[in-house]
Structure 1
């Protein structure tokens, strides 16, 4: 399998899988599943960033200082993008879009906001997946798995926002399909651009690690603190651990299979 075929296969399969699962859960009105998926996604993102992506960035010849600078710059960049409402996530009923719905839908404004933000987000995800596959097939698969794990709860939130914003189920599905196409476009751009810029690979991986850590620590973990009881905390820890373990085991299996 060529590198380009692997990249396209991972992005298309990931987009379809996350979209179908998210639609099934959102349309069956089971938002109570979202916290479970979010906890697992946190573990997958942390595991991918700290066990695979950042160590690989250093091993690729990027000294620790360069990778750390890319990580720091990436975190600041994603903070700025989120502040500009270009990157917006919503995973629970307490976010601004859902609060607005409690007083009547907002005639599509929050739905449009989430669509624009996620189109950009998915485009960046595609670039990150392409960059990882260009480094190593194993790293590409691990990165794609982590992104898919995060995409499922995010897509559920997207569907809920769009429905609460006044869109029909058909319109919500169509908009999420369009945002998913951005992942494939990002992967194509990443493949053709990054293949000519191999010297920047450690920096790219540092930025990829920053995106995973930022989403997990800034966006997802704070939502878990809304349930502080012991039982919920233990459940969250187990699911986070399961997410990390999935990445670790996948890395071992993929490595042995090559």
Structure 2
């Protein structure tokens, strides 16, 4: 596949993914169906872990000449994301018990709407880089990665949307700000495309960091929230939706044709 086709895939995935996640998040937030959001979190966990262990890591291992260094990069990435999140918590909390980021419900204390948008814009920019690295490796890997990112972005965007409303923004303003923020995914993807053309050797490292990011989000940010619901029915639902998330990644592989 030529470079122009890859660039078009990156642009399409970044634009469609960003717009789709924001639109779905707005629908969830405006209809206030918390149960749907909880279910979506479980699905997102499966999609993230499925993308990491069925696609991103196997592809990164194929591209690297030193799997041990690649594994070390994943480990360092998890520690890095842990440190970054702790710094974010420290920046916005001024006491010992601060619930800045609750995975099971949108946080409404500690962070202003402006800070939420700054953080979300940077997050979207990094997502664009991850999407670009995946598509430049393989189109199928790019599609799977984009799907996983969309899946975990929707519940996050729901939280962001609710925070903006809580901060005094109107529904139209909250939607507009989230849509503008989503364009950072496109910026990150296009910039990474041109940068990575001259440094293909960095792709395995970026894929390892992408895997670390997804593992951390799934295990540290999303899974703990599922333990808030302990009924057997809730557990069965959560496991089923996680399996559905993993299965969707597997099905994408079949459809694209590996």
Partner of 1:20: 23
Partner of 2:223: 221
CA distance in 2, matches of 1:203, 1:172: 35
CA distance in 1, matches of 2:80, 2:254: 32
Partner of 2:70: 67
Cα distance per residue 1:24-44 (max 9 Å; x no partner): 111122222111000000000
Select the residue among 237, 240, 245 that pairs with 2:239: 237
Partner of 1:171: 173
CA distance in 2, matches of 1:255, 1:71: 27
Partner of 2:41: 38
CA distance in 1, matches of 2:64, 2:75: 18
Cα distance per residue 1:67-124 (max 9 Å; x no partner): 111101211221122122299855444x6x33x4xxxxx8xx5212211111111100
- Count residues in correspondence: 246
CA distance in 1, matches of 2:101, 2:191: 24
CA distance in 2, matches of 1:176, 1:5: 23
Contact 2:10/2:132, CA 8 A, preserved across alignment: yes
How far apart are residue 199 of structure 1 and its match? 0.8
Contact 1:48/1:146, CA 8 A, preserved across alignment: yes
Cα distance per residue 1:116-153 (max 9 Å; x no partner): 11111110000000000000111000100100111111
Partner of 2:79: 76
Does residue 1:10 correspond to 2:40, yes or no? no
Does residue 1:56 correspond to 2:56, yes or no? no
Does residue 1:153 correspond to 2:139, yes or no? no
Which ranges in structure 2 are unaligned for 5 or more consecutive residues? Answer: 92-99
Moved more, 237-246 or 198-207: 198-207
Partner of 1:103: none
TM (norm. structure 1) is 0.90
How far apart are residue 8 of structure 1 and its match? 0.3
Which ranges in structure 1 are unaligned for 5 or more consecutive residues? Answer: 101-105
TM (norm. structure 2) is 0.90
Moved more, 139-148 or 61-70: 61-70
